[in-house]
Amino acid sequence: MKTLNALSAALLLAASMTAQAQPEYDQYARGSYLATLGDCTACHTTDAKQPYAGGVKINTPFGVLAGANITPDRETGIGDWSYDDFRRAMTEGIGHNGKRLYGAMPFTAYTKMSERDLQDLWAWIQTLQPIHHEVETNQLPFPFNIRTSLIAWNWLNFDKGTFTPDPKKSAEWNRGAYLVQGLGHCGTCHTSKNFLGGDEGDRFLSGSEVEGWYAPNLGADNHTGLGKWTQEDIVSYLRTGVNRYAIASGPMADAVRHSTQHWRDEDLRAVATFLKEGKTHDESVPQPLAASDDRMKLGAQIYEAKCSACHSPGGRGEKNIFPQLASNPLINQPNATSLIRVVSAGSRGVDTDARPTAPAMPAFAGVLDDEQIAAVLTYVRNSWGNAAAPVSASDVKDVKEELK
């Protein structure tokens, strides 16, 4: 009997300890998921063997910045930070000892995070392996390397404040808004910038050029935005990197690989709900170039010889392998940088758990000159329901120079 009583007492004690530890475990699990939602890997991991030790170079119009070491190393990371230091960095752009952060660290979006999410993320960071890795985060030339200038930058470009739900909208819509506007920081890449590199608030998600790629319009516009995309299209793209219109490549491929493919289904659906109810930015549709235009004639010949085998003569593509080009909002973007880059240098789509075999686009810079690449892109951008500004040979040359 004594043995049974002792066993019962031991089991009760173990159950009690487990119950007490569970909330803490849940906090760490939530924090880990929040780091995935925020795609912390993108800027803070250069080597998978040294996660979150920083060093990722971020090319801005003003020079190069590098992602910081955010492991708990006391000398080179944030091991001597307090929670208040962390909270202020995330919500105000001011780190340890008052060090001001550049907007490449998207505190302008993270300021919308809830207190609980900040606490959970901080708790998870404390569980990371401390890694001694010195990073020179500020590699900007003078005068942009002077951090005190950020006082004026913040005054002009930063509005502090947590996310406020819209009571007129559903819980799902508000969750999507929280993720897009805040933790997911989608606007950091997809919102057009002013001359100081700050977001143009009235152009949220209207599209912007980032690190040699064009992050497209995510508004509800039919011609250049997500108006034609269904919620299923959006979820598929974020989960697998593929839908009928697009295959994720460039910076978005990394975002899908490290972040969105791991999101919970309810979060993906929430984002799709929010984006589908977004505002339009520019519904004016230009007239397509006439088929008799010399650029269109040359482009049609090149397309038939080099592109039609995969994308079909009518631009229909092949589902989940080669995107359709016909009536494709991504083709109609006002900036053709990404298209020029993909045709010139080629591209490989993102490999995900759901689709481990990634389709690829060959490079054509070796077989087509600048004028020919411009012509075929002009043809694609003005055929099968598309209409967009023609691409010039100088546009192609400029992108090629950047690629070098």
Lowest mean pLDDT, pick from 193-197, 263-267, 306-310: 193-197
Instruction: For residue 286, tell me if it sits in a domain.
Output: no
Q: Which residue, 245, 276, 307, sits at the end of a domain?
A: 276
Instruction: For residue 2, tell me if it sits in a domain.
Output: no
Nearest to 183 by CA among 31, 66, 71, 47: 31
pLDDT at site 103:
87
Token pair 């659906």: residue: 269
| 178 and 108 assigned to the same domain | no
Instruction: For residue 166, tell me if it sits in a domain.
Output: no
Instruction: For residue 336, tell me if it sits in a domain.
Output: yes
- Please write the tens of the pLDDT for every residue from 130-171: 999 999 988 888 888 888 888 888 888 898 999 999 999 999
| 202 and 299 assigned to the same domain | no
| 144 and 36 assigned to the same domain | yes
User: What is the average per-residue pLDDT within 17-40?
Assistant: 79
Is 262 annotated as belonging to a binding site? no
Is 186 annotated as belonging to a binding site? yes
Give the burial class of 247: count Cβ atoms within 10 A of its Cβ; 0-12 exposed, 13-18 middle, 19 or more buried: buried
Instruction: For residue 346, tell me if it sits in a domain.
Output: yes
| 262 and 298 assigned to the same domain | no
- Please write the tens of the pLDDT for every residue from 243-286: 999 999 889 999 999 999 999 999 999 999 999 999 888 778 89
| 45 and 151 assigned to the same domain | yes
Nearest to 197 by CA among 56, 334, 61: 61
| 190 and 262 assigned to the same domain | yes
DSSP secondary structure string, 45-78? Answer: BS-TTSTT-B--EEEETTEEEE----SS-TTTSS
Triad 244, 287, 315: Cα angle to 5°: 30
Total of domains in the chain: 3
| 29 and 149 assigned to the same domain | yes
Is 185 annotated as belonging to a binding site? no
Taking a C-beta distance cutoff of 8 angstroms, is the pair 196, 153 a contact? yes
pLDDT at site 24:
64
Nearest to 267 by CA among 356, 161, 184: 184
Q: Which residue, 97, 127, 157, sits at the end of a domain?
A: 157
Q: Which residue, 276, 304, 327, sits at the end of a domain?
A: 276
Q: Among residues of the chain, what percentage have pLDDT more than 70? A: 94
Triad 18, 71, 188: Cα angle to 5°: 105
| Confidence label for 8 from pLDDT (cuts 50, 70 and 90) | very low
| 123 and 226 assigned to the same domain | no
Is 223 annotated as belonging to a binding site? no
Token pair 């995107």: residue: 323
Check pLDDT > 70 for residue 19.
no
First to last CA, the chain: 80
The model carries a pTM of 0.89
Report residue 309 CA to chain centroid gap: 31
pLDDT at site 13:
45
| Confidence label for 201 from pLDDT (cuts 50, 70 and 90) | confident
| Confidence label for 22 from pLDDT (cuts 50, 70 and 90) | low
- A 10 A CB-CB count for 155 gives 8
Check pLDDT > 90 for residue 87.
yes
Nearest to 116 by CA among 199, 197, 183: 183
Instruction: For residue 377, tell me if it sits in a domain.
Output: yes
| 52 and 115 assigned to the same domain | yes
Lowest mean pLDDT, pick from 27-41, 48-62, 327-341: 48-62
How far apart, in Å, are the Cα atoms of 176 and each of 34, 170, 280, 322? 14, 10, 17, 29
| 329 and 266 assigned to the same domain | no
User: What is the average per-residue pLDDT within 393-404?
Assistant: 93
Check pLDDT > 50 for residue 16.
no
Highest mean pLDDT among 283-292, 316-325, 376-385: 376-385
Instruction: For residue 288, tell me if it sits in a domain.
Output: no
| 272 and 336 assigned to the same domain | no
| 50 and 127 assigned to the same domain | yes
- Please write the tens of the pLDDT for every residue from 115-134: 999 999 999 999 999 999 99
| Confidence label for 229 from pLDDT (cuts 50, 70 and 90) | very high
pLDDT at site 138:
87
User: What is the average per-residue pLDDT within 337-348?
Assistant: 94
Determine the residue type at 39.
D
Spatial strand order in the sheet of 138-139: 57-60, 63-66, 138-139
Token pair 């592109």: residue: 307
Lowest mean pLDDT, pick from 14-18, 45-49, 163-167, 375-379: 14-18
Structural domain span for residue 304: 294-403
CATH number at residue 260: 1.10.760.10
Is 258 annotated as belonging to a binding site? no
CA distance 225 to 376: 22
Instruction: For residue 4, tell me if it sits in a domain.
Output: no
Helix 393-403 to helix 370-380 angle, to the nearest 10 degrees?
Answer: 110
